[in-house]
Amino acid sequence: MGKRLDFADNVSSLLFTVEAVVKIKTFGKEYFKDKWNVFDFILVILVLPSLIIWFSPYSAYSLKFLLSLRVLRVFKFFRVLKFVPNIEHIANGVMRALRSSIVVVIAFFMLNFILAIVSFSFFRDVAPEYFGNPLMAFYTTFKIFTIEGWYEIPDIIIERTNSVLLAVGIKIYFVFLLFGGGIFGLS
């Protein structure tokens, strides 16, 4: 059954490729002026490695990982969206929202970066498994932002310290991390 499915998959890849070639020959440069055609062309290019492996006389084990790109053909079904009324307005709105979101993502990244460096300098000796280097601290800070480990990590750090005043400061710091990044940052 697996060989039959592979054969059907390769035939559909071949048909998509032939369709793109025929359209390019028919329309010439006009083919690339339509965004849906460009979208199809990109998908066909991504699927070409599966055809190369299929027609190759070698087993091409080194290229097998490229076969996973075949799953991207599922995106061809997005062409159904062109039948949705006013889809251009919706797409333009989504693009404007994405452009606006870039500033928010950069600000969140910077917040995470700054707090990770501060956390690294505070806790690198106390909890090196979480804050041993800036990259680990960045990941741990992001984990706390996503409310994963928000109570375990401070408890581990508090166990390794012997000062009640320091324990209170650690709890306040991690509450600030949770609210600053987890609630306000991710919102």
> What is the sign of the dihedral through the CA atoms of 60, 62, 64 and 68?
negative
Considering the domain architecture, whether residues 55 and 17 belong to the same structural domain is answered as: yes
Q: What DSSP character marks residue 161?
A: -
Considering the domain architecture, whether residues 51 and 98 belong to the same structural domain is answered as: no
Domain enclosing residue 67, as ranges: 2-83
HEC letters along 144-156? HHCCCCCCHHHHH
Considering the domain architecture, whether residues 104 and 64 belong to the same structural domain is answered as: no
Considering the domain architecture, whether residues 123 and 181 belong to the same structural domain is answered as: yes
pTM score, whole prediction: 0.56
Residue 22: partners with Cβ closer than 8 Å, 6 or more residues away:
none
Considering the domain architecture, whether residues 114 and 158 belong to the same structural domain is answered as: yes
The burial class, CB within 10 Å (0-12 / 13-18 / 19+), for 111 is middle
Considering the domain architecture, whether residues 66 and 105 belong to the same structural domain is answered as: no
Length of the chain: 187
Domain boundary, last residue among 83, 110, 142: 83
pLDDT in tens, 57-84: 665 555 566 666 666 667 777 777 777 8
**What is the structure's pLDDT at 40?**
83
Q: 140-154 burial, b for 16+ CB within 10 Å, e for fewer?
A: bbbbbbeeeebeebb
Contact (Cβ atoms closer than 8 angstroms) between residue 158 and residue 167:
yes
CA-closest candidate to residue 184, choices 118, 119, 115, 108: 108
Considering the domain architecture, whether residues 107 and 171 belong to the same structural domain is answered as: yes
**What is the structure's pLDDT at 58?**
60
pLDDT in tens, 96-132: 988 888 888 898 899 999 999 999 999 999 999 999 9
* 64/77 Cα distance (integer angstroms): 25
How many other C-beta atoms are found inside a 10 Å radius of the C-beta of residue 68?
Answer: 10
Count CA atoms closer than 13 A to 84's CA, side-chain side: 10
Residue 23 clears pLDDT 80, i.e. is over it: yes
Q: 34-66 burial, b for 16+ CB within 10 Å, e for fewer?
A: eeebeebbebbebbebbbebbeeeeeeeeeeeb
pLDDT in tens, 127-172: 999 999 999 999 999 999 888 888 899 999 999 988 889 999 999 9
**What is the structure's pLDDT at 84?**
81
CA 104 to chain centre: 16
Considering only residues 177 and 78, tell me which one the structure prediction assigns the higher pLDDT.
177
Instruction: For residue 36, name the pLDDT band (cuts at 50, 70, 90).
Output: confident
